[in-house]
Amino acid sequence: MDAGGVRPAVREIAEEIESMETRGAAAIAEAAATAVAIQARESDAESAEALRVELRTTASRLHDTRPTAVSLPNALRFVLAELAGDDVEALREDVIERSRTFRERLDTAQADLGRVGAGRLRDGDTVMTHCHSTDVMACVEAAVESGKSLSAIVTETRPRNQGHITARELRALDVPVTLVVDGAARRYLNDVDHVLVGADSVAADGSVINKIGTSGLAVNARDRGTPITVAAGTIKLDPATLYGGAVDIEMREESEVIDPDTRGEIGDIAVENPAFDVTPPRYLDAIVTERGQFPPESVVTLIRELYGEQPAAPWESV
Ligand code: RUB
């Protein structure tokens, strides 16, 4: 067990998020909520205070895994909203119950937003996707289930090729797929009716933070007059941005871009590997959530309604 009493199963979940075995904003949030419940269930803490300290240490470990998807801190905020009281068993049960509620709501939200997003797609549309987003897949699935026939152009999504996951899942829905390299996206926009992307975070000004390449794709789509929709459940809304917080863009290993031997052969070069970028709201047509669709600039009212107060930070020790 860790200093801080973090259970091995929790450490394993944190490592899976770090190594991207568990990836995508919704899956990361679900895994974090599950990990906190495991910690509460397996903890040997004999007092509520000791359990509170362990839960904060657990939250801190999970929070440090990946910095950009706000669904992770939002999950921790929800599950660890109330850590009050002197009864250790009541505290344990409360955390387990809140984790269950969070995960159930996540599932329902995705199904609900899928139906909203499906409404934006027409029978016969070709959609272009970037990366792999379960919120996007929920929209496509709902459209297909409602009898619409779709085809897809899928960017491979360098350097980790999440487009392959999207391609596989679209084929499982019987959607015809053309896989292209990221650099070919603009060329193929001529054949596309709708661009559909997910989000890791949505800022109060309506900017969308998603997989690197999304902003260029959005600018190109706007230039071509191709509608672009962001599918993002409300756990992707970042309350800290209401109070001047900025979204931290994850910088990943250089070796994901170029292997060390090839790099050595080339000589002295700098390599940068940002995992996400920021798309300003003017390039986006709509953000689809389980609460309906919003013009990106209006999303601030939803953030205020759902997360109006100064956001808590249950991963910080007190
Ligand atoms: C994943 C990514 C996805 C969002 C939304 O990046 O950018 O578009 O996380 O996914 P990575 P979802 O592969 O680096 O985690 O809709 O499943 O939450």
State pLDDT tens for residues 79-92: 999 888 899 999 99
Q: Is 205 a catalytic residue?
A: no
Q: Is the predicted pLDDT of residue 270 greater than 80, yes or no?
A: yes
CA dist., res. 38 & res. 44, Å (int): 12
Pocket test for ligand 1, best of 210, 238, 284 (most atoms within 8 A of CB): 210
CA quadruple 208, 249, 111, 178: dihedral, nearest 10: 80
pLDDT of residue 82: 84
Lowest mean pLDDT among 72-76, 175-179, 236-240, 309-313: 309-313
User: What integer pLDDT is reported at residue 317 of this predicted model?
Assistant: 75
**What's the pLDDT score for residue 14?**
98
Q: How many CB atoms lie within 10 A of CB 86?
A: 9
Cα(135)–Cα(137) distance, rounded to whole angstroms?
Answer: 5
Please choose from 70, 106, 113, 131 the residue to mutate so as to test ligand 1's pocket, defined by most ligand atoms within 8 A of CB.
Answer: 131
pLDDT the model gives residue 3: 57
Six-digit token string for 290: 């389980």
Label residues 246-270 b or e (16+ Cβ within 10 Å = b): ebebbebeeeeeeeeeeeeeeeeee
Instruction: Give distance in angstroms: CA of 211 to centre of ligand 1.
Output: 7
- The residue whose CA has the least distance to atom 15 of ligand 1 is 24
Question: Is residue 318 predicted with pLDDT exceeding 70?
Answer: no
Query: What's the CA-to-centroid distance between 210 and ligand 1, angstroms?
Result: 7
Residue 1: predicted pLDDT: 54
Kindly write down the DSSP assignment for every residue of the chain, as one continuous string. Answer: --GGG--HHHHHHHHHHHTTSS-SHHHHHHHHHHHHHHHHHH----SHHHHHHHHHHHHHHHHTT-SS-THHHHHHHHHTS----S-HHHHHHHHHHHHHHHHHHHHHHHHHHHHHHHHTS-TT-EEEE-S--HHHHHHHHHHHHTT---EEEEE--TTTTHHHHHHHHHHHTT--EEEE-GGGHHHHGGG-SEEEE--SEE-TTS-EEEETTHHHHHHHHHHHT--EEEE--GGGB-GGGGGT--PPPPB--GGGTS-HHHHHHH-S-----BSEEEE-GGG-SEEEETTEEE-GGGHHHHHHHHH-SPPP-TTS--
- What pLDDT, on the 0 to 100 scale, is given for residue 310? 84
pLDDT in tens, 196-221: 999 999 999 999 999 999 999 999 99
pLDDT tens figures, 112-123: 999 999 999 999
pLDDT, tens digit (0-9, with 9 covering 90-100), for 148-195? 999 999 999 999 999 999 999 999 999 999 999 999 999 999 999 999
Task: Give, using CA atoms, the residue closest to atom 12 of ligand 1.
Answer: 133
- Report pLDDT digits (tens) over 292-311: 999 999 999 999 999 977 88
Q: Which two tokens stand for residue 278?
A: 């920021």
Using the predicted structure, report yes or no on whether residue 2 has a pLDDT greater than 60: no
Tokens in use for 28?
């990361």
Q: In terms of pLDDT, which residue wins out, 231 or 2? A: 231
pLDDT of residue 84: 85
pLDDT for res 308: 79
Residue 51 has pLDDT above 60, yes or no: yes
Least-confidence region, from 38-47, 79-88, 266-275: 79-88
Catalytic, 139? Answer no
**Which residue in the list 94, 125, 182, 200 is annotated as catalytic?**
200
Which atom of ligand 1 sits closest to the CA of residue 231? 16
